[in-house]
Amino acid sequence: MKLKVLASGSAGNSYILETETEALVVEAGVPFKKVLRNVDHKKINGVLVSHEHKDHSKYIEEYKRYGKLYISNEQLSKKAEWLGGFRVRAFEVVHNVPCYGYLIEHSEMGKLVFATDTGYIEYKFQDISHWLIECNYSKNILDQRVKEGFNTHLADRIVKDHMSLETCKLFFSRNDLKVARSIVLLHLSDSNSHAAQFQKEIQELTNKPTYIADEGLEIDISLVPF
């Protein structure tokens, strides 16, 4: 199983989970032709879209025209569904529109938690092998920018709707990471984050391999590597 990051941020979001025979696409924030450059369309079992904001959903109708399966988050939040070999369950997160994270299971990777565009995550998870979690901004950086004249209303919206480094660290400190194999930090702000610092602090806290979801990142998330 491989994780491929096609985009992660306010300009667009797209992630692929891919085995040798099937794939699951998470978010539809890039054109489908970009997805096709990274995975055979015949392998795609489904597309998950966390919420309606365009950097996550802009191209969903284009994906549907190619016949790619999309199941509503309301349905996935009531019970888990199988998309090929992927078992998916949605859970609500905290944003300014209805927004969902996903618990995704597959025999080749174990369990994976995906959550982005949320002020915090109220749930605890067990036996998670891989974490894809938003780490959008640092409170210290944002506070300094406000002092320098950054729009306070926009700063308040960021605090309510996105996860800070500090909240991300608290989240991981409250979850069981015994079987965790990787942590990928999503949706870093261009101006309110510091990627190297975020990666270093999360990895030191968790003692787990930590990555930044930059475009082009590809990592093996197999339980048994290829």
Q: Domains in the chain, ordered, with CATH?
A: 2-220 (3.60.15.10)
Q: Which helix (H) or strand (E) covers residue 144, if one does? A: helix 139-147
- 180 backbone dihedrals φ, ψ, rounded to 5°: -65, 135
Q: How confident is the model at residue 70 (pLDDT cuts 50, 70, 90)?
A: confident
**Mean pLDDT for the stretch of residues 195-218:** 98
Q: What is the pTM of this model?
A: 0.95
Judged against a pLDDT cut of 80, whether residue 77 lies above it is answered with: yes
Rounded mean pLDDT of 53-61?
Answer: 95
- The pLDDT, as a whole number, for residue 69 is 75
129-186 residue pLDDT tens = 999 999 999 999 999 999 999 999 999 999 999 999 999 999 999 999 999 999 999 9
Q: How many CB atoms lie within 10 A of CB 72?
A: 11
| 218 DSSP β-pair partners | 4
Report the percentage of the chain scoring pLDDT > 70.
Answer: 99
d(CA 34, CA 83): 22
pLDDT at 104 over 80: yes
Q: What is the pLDDT of residue 225?
A: 57
Residue among 34, 32, 4 at smallest CA distance from 18: 4
Residue with the bigger pLDDT between 185 and 64: it is: 185
**Average pLDDT of the residues in 5-29:** 97
